[in-house]
Amino acid sequence: MTSEIGEFLRAKRERVAPEERGLPAGGGRRVPGLRREEVALLAGISPDYYVRLEQGRARAASDQVLDAISRVLSLDDVERDHLRVLARPAPSPAPDARSSRD
């Protein structure tokens, strides 16, 4: 099962060429764009943390981390705001006690 944040980040990684960030293009890339490890390196976070974030397993990512990822991926304001929403989903509402009595 693919998370929405994962789909979003993968799509944004694909559109950034490694050369645009000063990295060697390197042959043998299976997919276009930046690798997860490259995004993490450029954002100043651990590759493991980035992978967890992309998989939707990291909770409460800081503004600094999300801003760093946004810069690396050249997100515009709308995309950056969308990333924040995806990274910090609203808590599920508590079940209404009254409805369970019906």
Distance CA 59, CA 34 (A): 23
Q: Which pLDDT score is estimated for 3?
A: 86
Cβ neighbours for 28, distance < 8 A, ≥ 6 positions apart: none
- Write the pLDDT tens digit of every residue in 37-85: 999 999 999 999 999 999 988 878 899 999 999 999 999 999 999 999 9
pTM score of the predicted model = 0.82
Whose CA is closest to 41, among 63, 19, 68? 68
